[in-house]
Amino acid sequence: MDISPLQKARYGYKPRLPACLAGDIGDIAVELGVPTESISDREDLKALFKHTYGKPLVSFVKEKNEAIYRELKVGVILSGGQAPGGHNVIAGLYDGLKKGNPASKLFGFLGGPSGLVENKTLEITDTIIDAYRNTGGFDMIGSGRTKIETPEQFAFSLTTIQKLGLNAVVIIGGDDSNTNAALLAEYLKEKGSDAQIIGCPKTIDGDLKNEYIEISFGFDTACKTYSELIGNIERDAASAKKYWHFIKLMGRAASHIALECALETQPNICLVSEEVEAKELSLDQVVDHICASVVRRAENHENFGVVLIPEGLVEFIPEIKKLIEELNNVIARDTGEFASISSFIDRLGWLRMKLSENSYSLLKSLPPDIAKEFLMDRDPHGNVQVSRIETEKLLISMTEKKLRELKNGGLYRGKFSPLGHFIGYEGRCAFPSNFDADYCYSLGFSAFVLIASGLSGYLSSVRNLTAPAPEWKAGGVPLTMMMNMEQRYGAKKPVIKKALVDLDGKPFKAFDAQRDIWAVKTSFLFPGAVQYFGPPEVADEPSKTLKLEHM
């Protein structure tokens, strides 16, 4: 198979481990802390997780541990969207298993959680793992978004585990996937199975984090990849001096990606969904904010700029959030009737009596192409697919309209030539940065130690991430510790709480301190491509968000 020079070079990269995981494999033991509690809803969660609630925090220490040499059979699942470094998690897990006992085996479940339910596996060998070390993507075993949630799915999962004789399953995923991991760990205990479940924190969105999970893997690489592209666009804007670029960035609900990219590139405007919601800004007020920058820059004869837009913004604008909620409820209630109406105009007429007056007026006021996107096919849970709403085009259209009004009133004399972009898939499968390559390998190796030590219901944890890799601290966090109860589809469900941008946190405050300057004065930064070779301050740097959070 032909490979690129970079891929060949990355095969030779040796990920660095925390000191507590390096050296003799038999000298890694677990140290148990005090019992833990969930974020909230403690009594409800205790009742739901009778066998797995309240486990202690775990850290690894240098002590003899004979259990590390056990022969093990382990399964691994890649769950949800791709994130750079997933293959290195599997490599760290595989290497740990083989160092502990060469007879140990690792099975990859094909296509995500459905592979566990349907018993579709691939035994991972030296040849297979060596072809994927330090590479992007999830193509070694594939991923999927199946949720193990029905009694039948749980029963099939247990049957698969029993047929394969597995000691453990590692689930590599985000908050929803690891909520599933917690439920599966509880189910297995309830059924008397000794099989263990361990999770690994994956999502480029950056919203699976807390005191013990400092960042989810993939965030670092994805943001560096996006920032390179944004920097290139900024350089082009500063060169051509005639375009305003509206760039929507992947990230689903939280604005961590948009904020990190803003810190990396210093655009003229970066919208932060959490701030929009906290200040209860209307769509018109968001547009006014953009127009203020356009007008001020035009006064300086700079009719160009860059606007960053988080993917989930529309769900945080109060009147649009209300519209989406009403549409989801109406379409879910009358699915067949709605589906039978083919034309957009007829659907609008049908919704006239179904929506509140304010929501209907808002829907009708949107550009038709955008309004149609609010009525597209729902996701499997009956919700609008926010990622398919072209928020960048909506804001461009409304900004153009507002600027025409300002020009007619003599308040704006510039030229406005907008271009829209959506940057997302470009970063999900990039070659992992050195940081993510090391971090992911350490997460996988930590998952092995948790399994060898007989633990279940934990998320692999590696901390102190702004220090050099040997100084990182590894261990495990009980999955139930990160949970609360939330309303989902008409009922209270246990879920791992998403971490949104903290408006009182250091990353947002660093952004807030500079953004008024960026809005008027061209202050672009050009971070360039992800660097894999060179001095540590270039090749091994963690994200700005992580560094600011540790200041």
In the chain, what is the straight-line distance between the N-terminal and C-terminal CA atoms, in Å?
A: 46
116: which 2 tokens? 């566990």
Joined tokens for residue 237: 């804007």
Of 276, 244, 226, which Cα lies nearest the Cα of 508? 276
Burial of 5 (0-12, 13-18, 19+ CB in 10 A): exposed
In order of 84, 132, 133, 227, the CA distances from 7 in angstroms are 14, 9, 9, 22
- CA distances in angstroms from 437 to 125, 226, 467, listed in the order given: 20, 18, 15
The H or E element spanning position 418 is: strand 418-423
Alpha-carbon distance of 203 to 206, in angstroms, equals 6
DSSP E strand boundaries for 250-304: 269-270
Residue 201 identity (one-letter amino acid)? P
User: What distance in Å separates the CA atoms of residue 417 and residue 402, rounded to the nearest whole number?
Assistant: 14
Structure tokens at 405: 């009004």
The answer to whether the Cα torsion of 214, 217, 221, 223 is positive or negative is: negative
Q: Measuring CA to CA, which residue among 447, 495, 449, 462 is closest to residue 178? A: 495
| Site of tokens 């009956």 | 382
Closest CA to 330 of 390, 368, 375: 375
Which residues make Cβ contacts (< 8 Å) with residue 361, sequence separation at least 6? Answer: none
Q: Give the integer Cα–Cα distance in Å for 522 and 269.
A: 11
What 3-state DSSP class applies to 124? strand
Which residues form the catalytic set?
205
